[in-house]
Chains A and B, each alone.
Chain A
Amino acid sequence: MADDEEIILSELDDEELVLQMHDDLYDGMKDEIEEGVRILIERGWTPYDVLTRALVAGMTIVGNDFRDGILFVPEVLLAANAMKGGMVILKPMLVETGAPRMGKMVIGTVKGDIHDIGKNLVAMMMEGAGFEVVDLGINNAVEKYLEALETEKPDILGMSALLTTTMPYMKVVIDTLKEKGLRDDYIVLVGGAPLNEEFGRAIGADAYCRDAAVAVETAKVHVARRHNRMNA
């Protein structure tokens, strides 16, 4: 097929359409993704299958190419924006159809930090993987985290920071949890450009997550371990 030939999504079979949606996600084509989602739903796909096989799988390719230095932040943002378009359509259907729930996460950027690109990507991919996500936004003081943990009772607390000057605040939050005897009630995951595994360990987090894909996999492993412990 010539590159400049217009592709009619509705004329593609399921397999071709899903592959085309991966390409469209890669290219950040929001309108095409929304159209693809609607077509698959009309063909009787479950919302969960559309989410995982078309959107999450496509976004995983984007994430891998970002990790490998093939794609850069603008392209990832455009892809994320396209995926978000598809998620908006799927979200109410996922609730209605009772898609599998993996667990619950409260996530937020720490106090003094307004950067949320990475945090938003993690939140979106966690939702895509079946986690319920409560996003506290940016500039969160320890009180805000504590209040959300009390209200939402999540399995996971996620904290994000982009600045060298704000990342130490994650330790303030974890130390406060320890003081209140709450630390072991939650899986604590941390992430952000200047962080690394050593920092995650030093502040007492359960894990440092390099990117959104790693965050999802790490969350799944820790939640499974937690459930196993509770059922033992």
Chain B
Amino acid sequence: MRPDDGRLSDEGLAPEGAGRVRLIACGALAHEILALKRANGWEYLDLQCLPANLHLRPEKIVEAVEAAVRAADGPVFVVYADCGTGGALERKCRELGVEMIEGPHCYSFFEGNAAFAAHADDEFTAFYLTDFLVRQFEAFVWRPMGLDRHPELRDMYFGHYTKLVYQAQTEDPALDAKAQDCAARLGLAYERRFTGYGDLSVRLAELRP
């Protein structure tokens, strides 16, 4: 069953208790991880998601991940990028003796960290959305930034951005149209870039026993 985005944002997803490796992941990655698991028959993975809305207060991510890791039995793999923790999550994972996926953000490992880093110098005025963030644009961008109540804040947030890049994990014309609308609302040029699952797929495959 496809988990509900609202619940993934606020509550996360409980593990099923089956599968050798516990994935402790951001709720924003649930659909993609489950799609990979289904497509590849990776029954060794047991997905647990923390609420995606932790991203609204990144300083809370480290303690939430630590609590989940400590509560888990058996091998754990953390599916969070650095996500604005300034290296703190990586340090904590090392301290806990668990591995995590590499990269500064999910939109980096979806594109492939090497490819993303290669254009960092030319694309630092881009604002990135993934499939999840397009679907949840109101909950993760528009409302938390207060743009629903105070559209005049747009320039303070986005005045230096030039384009919105939709890093698409799936081929979905409806999401493409919505991403285009998000760009228009932010007053940014629009670019769609199909990434698929990028390094996420590669890294999860490496966990195979």
Contacts and interface: CB of A to CB of B under 8 A. Distances in A.
A139 interface: yes
A82 to B, nearest CB: 12
A167 B120 contact: no
B38 interface: no
A113 interface: yes
B86 A114 contact: no
A193 B146 contact: no
Interface in A126-169: 138-139, 163-167
B133 interface: no
B185 to A, nearest CB: 16
Contacts of B146: 72-75, 77-78
B104 A165 contact: yes
Contacts of A195: 86
Interface string B29-73: 000000000000000000000000000011000000000000000
Interface residues of A, number: 26
Contact of A117 (B147, B157, B161): B157
Nearest to B117: A165
Counting chain A CB atoms within 10 Å of each CB, which of B82, B117, B120, B153 scores highest?
B153
A112 interface: yes
A194 interface: yes
Interface in B134-190: 144-147, 149-150, 153, 156-157, 160-161
A196 B89 CA distance: 13
Interface size class of B (residues with CB under 8 A): 20 to 34
Given A74-B149, A112-B121, A164 B86 contact: yes
A112 B124 contact: yes
Contact of A114 (B82, B124, B145, B147): B124
A77 B153 contact: yes
Given A116-B160, A196-B88, A165 B150 contact: no
B85 interface: yes
Contacts of B124: 112-114, 139, 166
B75 interface: no
7 contacts: A74-B145, A75-B146, A114-B161, A163-B104, A167-B86, A193-B84, A199-B87
Interface of B: 57-58, 82, 84-88, 104, 117, 120-121, 124-125, 144-147, 149-150, 153, 156-157, 160-161
Interface of A: 69, 72-75, 77-78, 81, 112-117, 138-139, 163-167, 193-196, 199
- A-B pairs, 6 with minimum CB distance: A74-B146, A194-B86, A114-B160, A164-B82, A112-B124, A164-B104
